[in-house]
Chain A
Amino acid sequence: MFGQPRSPRFRAALAGTLSAGLVLSIAACGGSDDSDSDTSSNASASAIDCAPYTKFGDIKGKTVSIYTGIVTPEDTPHINSYKPFETCTGATVKYEGDKSFETQILVRAKAGNPPDLAIVPQPGLLKQLVATGKAVVAPDEVSANVDKFWGKDWKAYATIDGKFYAAPLGASVKSLVWYSPKDFKDSNYEVPTTLDQLKALSDKMVADGKKPWCAGISSGDATGWPVTDWMEDFMLRTAGVDEYDKWVNHQIAFNSPEPTAALDAVGGYLKNDKYVNGGLGDVKSIATTTFQDAGLPILDGQCEMHRQASFYAANWPKGTKVSQDGDVFAFYLPGKDATTKPVLGGGEFVLSFADRPEVKAFQTYLSSDTWANTKAKLSSGWVSANKGLDPNNLTSPIDQLAAKILLDPATQFRFDGSDQMPAAVGSDAFWKQATSWITGQDTKTTVDNIEKAWPKK
């Protein structure tokens, strides 16, 4: 039982994390030459300054449990990145990866059996967990690290009722469009820098007899979520970041004009028979294509563009070269004009349920630049908005691109909106209605129904 291949709100959990195993599998990628397993283990064994952690007391022989939705093979770089901490403090970290993390963590917290630490992929879930009363406020050392290494907005996502609970861990960039650099070059297509150019490019591809876009939103019981990402991205562009914030916090209704216009703009792409669904069928086929498979037609030239986050890098089959001059790469989904640069993204947070010294020490380690750099060297397909992260430590071109976007001063980063909305909307009505919308329901009914599902206060 319970064997669903998708845990419901996993998507941001995917965000920062690709595999060490994957490093092997995409060894053909540019930039991965320095990330073979030997150097990885050397990196993990490298000594770190232990002072920040031993000051919590002698934690030798103690155990910290950490519970996450990150499973094989992505768990390996995580586990390895804990080794410097374990070596220097003598404490043990017990890692538990579970695909059903996002429902199980709630059950465990409610029943009084939480782990020491949990890697929580959404601010919404974080709120629910804090509401159980079992979570513990982050120690001052962690708070200081976050002040030092992260933007204020990141700290705000994990601050509930004025109390700061959880340090961010990884981040992902969702405003990306995957394409085939080779095909673009052969067909003389240019990477667009404004939304209008994107539309013009799509039309040009149609004129060339191609289906420009491929998409897929099937994802088990989380089916529909990729549409929410699309809509958020267009909300950021057509209405602007301020309206976006209001929309996410329900200061404007879900069915008010701006969100409706944003969804219609998405419809201009996803519900446009001329644009979709390259290699996959008609508009409706978007609903049954798994999000993992949706970009693959690019490899066969059946589709030109696929909007999906940086973590999609892991979905290309073995041997696919993911780089600027490789088989596939991604460009930034352009802003309304070339000067604005809104970026939709996700990330995870480390929430604590225990205040034992060893737990605090480990939390502090995870919020440090030391850990971020250790992790960067170990894994491919992982980025963080940690300012202490040296981009040179990132191993793959797509990670470097993501880091570049995250660190660009012009970037207006916004966290995935559905991850912050109440669960009844963000992980239920929004998904369901978005799926119905793809299979034929009109925009007005869709936004009206989602508005109706918003919990009344």
Chain B
Amino acid sequence: MFNTASTTPGKLLQMLAALLLFAAIMGVILFIAGRLGRGKNGDKWVGYIYLLPAVLMLLIGLVYPGLRTIYESFFDAAGNAFIGFDNYKTIFTNEDELTVLRNTVFWVVFTPFVATAVGLVYAILVDKSRMESFAKALIFLPMSISFVAASVIWKFMYEYRPDQGSVKQIGLINQIIVWLGGKPVQLLIESPLNTFLLIIVMIWIQAGFAMTILSAAIKAIPDDIVEAARLDGVNAWSMFRSITLPSVRPTVVVVLTTIGIGTLKVFDIVRTMTGGQFKTNVVANEFYSQTFRADNQGLGAALAVLLFILVIPIVAYNIRQVRQGA
């Protein structure tokens, strides 16, 4: 059962076995929870037992590697000599690394807000329209595209061909520039324009996520509230401001947070489109390059720790939310 399955029936059987095993484990947990729930302080124990499997998996799969990374960040490239905060010093003094930090700030500031805004507006606009399902599928489409494909897609948008004889543009944006009488631009070289062009790709992907979640939240607004507002003669804009937005606010926070964290971690887009060249590098990609390409485990680890640190403001904001909610 724990061997490599190589035939289709074998694979399906193994999957079935895994699901049954998992169901059995769930059964045991729920059974124990049912028993514990009856005792004194039962609630507390139910809480712990519900969390047990997830916490165990996280300890092994994320906490342990995370701690190991923090530890490694104080060591040199080969991981042999303790060098204190030198790796961090490099990050905050090296000119290239500072550009990396600047770009990461751009990414985190723009991507979540624009993607969420587009997703929210679109969700409202198509809500209850006749083509809603189809209209949503269009925005959702980019989410279902792998990064390999996305990089080809955007190549057909940003590609540059020179203004020379019979050479034709193959990137749509430059073609539009040419149609309008301009000269083609090497879009991915011009800094900081190029960083924003890459951010657009991320927004393009994430708007679908925002739209899906926010649309569900909009539909959850109780009909009677909407009805009451309507009877009061509220116009569409006030409706948005005083009914829709307050109702979906918690969801907006969730979406912003999720996209924000996802953006911090993004590296595929940068890697495939510019390779981090032309001043477009971001922390997650630099981390990957240092760890897996430049063979500098220590600096790579320090960059990963920097990601942990950058997420603190987002965590802090959510702490406030949790406090308010409690």
Q: Which residues of A are interface residues toward B (Cβ below 8 A)?
A: 1-6, 8-9, 103, 106-107, 128, 131, 218-224, 277, 279-282, 284-285, 287-288, 300, 302, 422-424, 427-429, 432, 435-436, 439, 455
**8 Å CB contact of B147 from A1, A8, A128, A280:** A1
Shortest distance between the CB of B107 and any CB in chain A (Å): 17
CB atoms of A221 and B160 under 8 A apart: no
Chain B interface residue count, CB cutoff 8 Å, equals 36
CB atoms of A428 and B293 under 8 A apart: yes
**8 Å CB contact of B186 from A288, A300, A424:** A288
A-B contact pairs, 7 of them (CB 8 A): A5-B148, A221-B272, A224-B277, A281-B160, A281-B164, A288-B189, A428-B289
Contacts A3-B150, A222-B275, A277-B162 supplied; 16 other A-B pairs, CB < 8 Å: A1-B147, A3-B146, A3-B268, A3-B272, A106-B292, A220-B275, A223-B274, A280-B162, A281-B164, A287-B186, A287-B189, A302-B164, A302-B167, A432-B277, A435-B277, A455-B77
**8 Å CB contact of A439 from B160, B189, B276, B289:** B189
B264 contacts the other chain (CB 8 A):
no
List of A residues within 8 angstroms of B160 by Cβ: 281, 285, 288
**8 Å CB contact of A103 from B96, B164, B275, B293:** B293
CB atoms of B189 and A428 under 8 A apart: no
- Rounded to whole angstroms, the CA-CA distance of A9 and B293 in the bound complex is 8
**8 Å CB contact of A3 from B148, B167, B188, B294:** B148
- Rounded to whole angstroms, the CA-CA distance of A244 and B158 in the bound complex is 39
CB atoms of B296 and A424 under 8 A apart: yes
CB atoms of B296 and A223 under 8 A apart: no
Shortest distance between the CB of B11 and any CB in chain A (Å): 18
- Lowest 7 A-B CB distances belong to which pairs? A3-B148, A281-B162, A423-B295, A428-B294, A221-B275, A3-B147, A103-B292
Shortest distance between the CB of B41 and any CB in chain A (Å): 43
- Rounded to whole angstroms, the CA-CA distance of A288 and B77 in the bound complex is 31
Shortest distance between the CB of A279 and any CB in chain B (Å): 6
- Rounded to whole angstroms, the CA-CA distance of A280 and B186 in the bound complex is 11
Shortest distance between the CB of A107 and any CB in chain B (Å): 7
Number of interchain pairs (Cβ within 8 Å):
101
List of B residues within 8 angstroms of A128 by Cβ: 295
Closest partner residue, chain A, to B297 (CB atom): A110
Query: Contacts A3-B147, A288-B160, A424-B296: A223 and B275 contacting too (C-beta < 8 A)?
Result: yes
List of B residues within 8 angstroms of A219 by Cβ: 275
Closest partner residue, chain B, to A2 (CB atom): B268
- Rounded to whole angstroms, the CA-CA distance of A143 and B168 in the bound complex is 54
B233 contacts the other chain (CB 8 A):
no
Closest partner residue, chain A, to B164 (CB atom): A279
List of A residues within 8 angstroms of B150 by Cβ: 3
List of B residues within 8 angstroms of A424 by Cβ: 77, 294-296
Shortest distance between the CB of B76 and any CB in chain A (Å): 9
B151 contacts the other chain (CB 8 A):
yes
Pick the most buried of B167, B274, B275: most chain A CB atoms within 10 A of its CB: B275
- Rounded to whole angstroms, the CA-CA distance of A282 and B162 in the bound complex is 8
Query: Contacts A302-B164, A422-B295, A424-B295: A1 and B268 contacting too (C-beta < 8 A)?
Result: yes
Shortest distance between the CB of B142 and any CB in chain A (Å): 14
List of A residues within 8 angstroms of B147 by Cβ: 1-3
- Rounded to whole angstroms, the CA-CA distance of A105 and B148 in the bound complex is 21
List of A residues within 8 angstroms of B296 by Cβ: 423-424
CB atoms of B186 and A221 under 8 A apart: no
Closest partner residue, chain A, to B149 (CB atom): A3
B166 contacts the other chain (CB 8 A):
yes
- Rounded to whole angstroms, the CA-CA distance of A222 and B289 in the bound complex is 10
Closest partner residue, chain A, to B295 (CB atom): A423
List of B residues within 8 angstroms of A5 by Cβ: 148, 151, 272
**8 Å CB contact of B278 from A103, A287, A455:** A287
Shortest distance between the CB of A208 and any CB in chain B (Å): 15
**8 Å CB contact of B268 from A4, A223, A279, A288:** A4
List of B residues within 8 angstroms of A300 by Cβ: 166
B165 contacts the other chain (CB 8 A):
yes
List of B residues within 8 angstroms of A223 by Cβ: 274-275, 277
List of B residues within 8 angstroms of A436 by Cβ: 277
List of A residues within 8 angstroms of B278 by Cβ: 287, 435, 439
List of A residues within 8 angstroms of B276 by Cβ: 221
List of B residues within 8 angstroms of A428 by Cβ: 289-290, 293-294
Within 8 A of A (CB), among B168-207: 186, 188-189
Pick the most buried of B151, B289, B293: most chain A CB atoms within 10 A of its CB: B293
CB atoms of B186 and A427 under 8 A apart: no
Closest partner residue, chain B, to A107 (CB atom): B292
